[in-house]
A and B are shown apart, each in its own frame.
Chain A
Amino acid sequence: MLRDLVSALDYAVCAESALALFVGTFLMIFYGTLRLSPSAAERFANIPLSDQVEDPRDE
């Protein structure tokens, strides 16, 4: 069944749909990342600098 389904597809569209899939997801993550608050980003970025547990640990 899967073989029939895929055989019926026009596989030339794979490249375009792959591109659309990527661009859509990328834009979503890009936008979401930009909305990360500066204070949270700073806190996350500082995690490796100390081997001790820092408080507050939660976001």
Chain B
Amino acid sequence: MNQVTNDGDGGIDEFSYDDDIVRKFVTATILWGLIATLVGLVVAILLVMPSLTGGMPWLSFGRLRPLHTNAAIFAFAGNAIFAAIYYSTQRLCKARMWSDKLSRIHFWGWQLIIVAAAISLPLGITQSKEYAELEWPIDIAIAVIWLFVFGGNFMMTLIHRRERHMYVALWFYIATIVTVALLHVCNNLVVPAGWFKSYSIYAGVQDAFMQWWYGHNAVAFFLTTPFLGLMYYFLPKAAERPVYSYKLSIIHFWSLVFIYIWAGPHHLHYTALPEWACTLGMLFSLMLWMPSWGGMINGLLTLRGAWHKVATDPVLKFFVVGVTFYGMATFEGPLLSIKSVNALSHYTDWTIAHVHSGALGWNGFMTFGMLYWLIPRLFQTKMWSERMVGVHFWTGTIGILLYIVPIYAAGLMQGLMWRAIDDTGNLVYPDFIETIQTIVPLWWLRVLGGALYVGGVSMLAFNAFMTWWGRPATYEVPVHRAPRLSKEYHDAPVPKSDLEKAPVVEIGRKIDIWSQMGWHRRWERLPIKFTVLTTLAVIIATLFELLPTFLIRSNVPTIATVKPYTPLELAGRHLFVSEGCYNCHSQMIRPMVAETKRYGEYSKPGEFIYDRPFQWGSRRIGPDLAREGGKQSSKWHWDHFNNPSNVSEGSVMPAYQHLLTEDLKFEGIKPHVQAAAYLGAPYTPDEIENSASLARRQAEVIAADLVAQGGPAVMQGKQAIAMIAYLQRLGTDLFRELEEQQAPKTDDELKPGEKQDEEAGQTPASASSTDQTGEN
């Protein structure tokens, strides 16, 4: 596969590096970077001007926000790490990529996946799991391209390398490839209900756990480990000096691999997730401080004796700011994982600021530094404008600060306003919209910061284009000569123990020899064994967390009154998912005084057993909807879809008029019911067979209700009716029995666990195990 010639002189190979594939990925990085940041700017503008797009469904915030996150992560950062890996792996292995054909299939396959995402997400085709929104046909393509095409080509290159030791950057790439594949496959196990719709095999609490195990580790192994590999290769190259401490880089690697995978549950503090899992997540998140800062310090100290270069070299400037943001983000991440801090920050803009300090500062600036270092070398000419590189640096830096500082302030304000309680024990800001309106001016500042950042990326695109324009007619392709690595490698003789003459038992000497870690040095030369061991480290940690959650029934006590959704409600839920409502509305009331006062009884794990996918959300631009059922009339919801400001003055929600005008496809409901039934929802064969007529019947009741409340007539066939059916059902099952008996229990009759414990330390999991459970 390798384009190698052999001169027959003792196995000396002649080979060249494949820089054409790197040029392709570099170009894609710049193009998608521009698009991702532009879409980000658009969604930021939509928050302050919700009616800007005139209610066009494919341009709503709910549909475009996933497009922005997917474009930023998988298109911009994804192509950047591929460029970094293809360039550095060849040079670290002293070998061309194993297969040029696989490299090109990888490139074009990945671009096709991105285009499929860019088309399907605005059309509302989504799984609604954050950073895993893409539907199952695209997911299969991702798995094949990532694992078999990219991973296979990478592994074969390692096997055919000409450098005995695998440099630490390659370790980070290995961890990235195997872990991302594992995360992607496990989180996207679904039952299809058509080409564009699927249902997760996990439900409720388990789905949430799986999603945030994926979500957190997608950040860890897609946005951190490959960028650390990039740092360990490109920073020494740009500084022209080796990494400060190679030993520290080894510790950095193993620590991240062992710790990161445990930390996911900190995204679900105070939710219906078992407390032990949250505590575990918090503990390991806090431990991440050490290796992360070790890595940051290692990066910065690589510049020892070269700080004078930083003043003049824009590439190093980008790297220094990027590594500094890595330190900031990895300090803040563990901070946010502490339960008491998380109680304030979760669902607020604080998380958004944290994410963007990492994405814009760490991922963005490391990518820009790498690109400005690579572009002159790949296009074999000088950068068109060095001055413009400097302007990009300062525009981007100011843009980041102008973005994150107001959003940190907005997050803090939101958190404090939501929890503020006056002397009489009531909420100081009971009107949710008031808490949003207060931060709108800060959102405007974000738009300004985002515009500056996009301006910087535009400069990069223009500068890169002009540099490419000035390229030579043909690129020079240097040819390298090197002997192959011998297949047999004889390790150094087993070292003697330092305790040889010491008065210790034999086992002591053996431990001393073992602890000299000669076995680890061997692993570092064996790519397959190294990959297997890295995979094992990740899998063992994963099983420790996931198995108990999935196999111990008491983690999710069932509630006798919780029933599956009706066919019409299921259709409404599908619309809720498609419109991306979870991007602004959570469905998870935490056991805190301020939350239960604002939204009602806190959420129990058993309430979500039919929720595929879960809809807990991660952000509250709008209020929580976990107990929305029965709060408003059907007419209110109709008017709200028509124009939110009419019934909720100052709302930043866009109009959803297409739900009022577009017909619901009743005949298309059956596959949804079938999929839910296949996954365990107790529908009768009759309910499955007659799902369309059952849905029609319920729609007629809601439409009649709408007319009785002064709404328009003959609307039973519209999509909004299904959405209303779903919203009116939310959170009502818990009280179904009480309503039917017409005799609510008094406080004295309630078991201790049933009393609404409003102390923040109480976990819903422990409370709900005795709460209206049919079985435990």
Instruction: Enumerate chain A interface residues (CB-CB to B < 8 A).
Output: 2-3, 6-7, 9, 11-12, 14-15, 17-19, 21-22, 25-26, 29-36, 40-49, 51-53, 57-59
Contact = CB atoms under 8 A, between A and B. Distances in A.
Nearest to B250: A33
A7 B517 contact: no
Contacts of A15: 276, 279-280, 283
A48 B88 contact: yes
For the complex of A and B, list the 7 residue pairs with the smallest distance between their C-beta atoms, beginning with the closest: A32-B517, A45-B242, A53-B482, A45-B246, A11-B548, A41-B246, A6-B551
A53 B163 contact: yes
B287 to A, nearest CB: 7
A10 to B, nearest CB: 10
Given A42-B242, A48-B233, A59-B521, A11 B552 contact: yes
Nearest to B169: A48
Given A26-B255, A59-B165, A48 B91 contact: yes
- Main SS at interface, chain A: helix
Q: Which of the four size classes fits the interface of chain B?
A: 35 or more
A14 B520 CA distance: 28
A16 B171 CA distance: 28
B665 interface: no
Contacts of A34: 247
Nearest to A29: B254
Contacts, number: 127
B243 interface: yes
Interface in B269-285: 276, 279-280, 283-284
Given A18-B280, A18-B541, A42-B242, A58 B258 contact: no
B544 interface: yes
A18 B262 contact: yes
Contact of A35 (B91, B167, B516): B516
Interface in B529-586: 537, 540-541, 544-545, 547-548, 551-553
Contacts of B243: 45
A59 B164 contact: yes
Interface in B209-261: 232-233, 236-237, 240-243, 245-247, 250-251, 254-255, 258-259
Contact of B544 (A7, A18, A41, A43): A18
A15 B287 CA distance: 14
A6 B546 CA distance: 11
Given A15-B283, A19-B283, A41-B246, A53 B480 contact: yes
B489 interface: yes
Contacts of B516: 32, 35
Contacts of A31: 515, 517
Contact of A47 (B17, B92, B280): B92
Contact of B517 (A2, A3, A22, A36): A36
Contacts of A3: 551
A30 B251 contact: yes
B548 A14 contact: yes
A43 B245 CA distance: 12
Interface string B152-173: 0000000000111101110000
A39 to B, nearest CB: 11
B105 interface: no
B543 to A, nearest CB: 10
B541 A41 contact: no
15 contacts: A6-B548, A11-B548, A12-B276, A14-B544, A18-B280, A18-B541, A21-B544, A22-B287, A29-B250, A44-B168, A45-B242, A49-B242, A51-B91, A57-B162, A58-B164
B380 to A, nearest CB: 15
Interface in B703-720: none
Given A42-B246, A47-B92, A53-B162, 16 more contacts: A3-B551, A9-B548, A15-B276, A18-B545, A19-B283, A32-B520, A35-B515, A35-B517, A41-B245, A45-B242, A47-B165, A48-B88, A49-B242, A51-B17, A57-B164, A59-B492
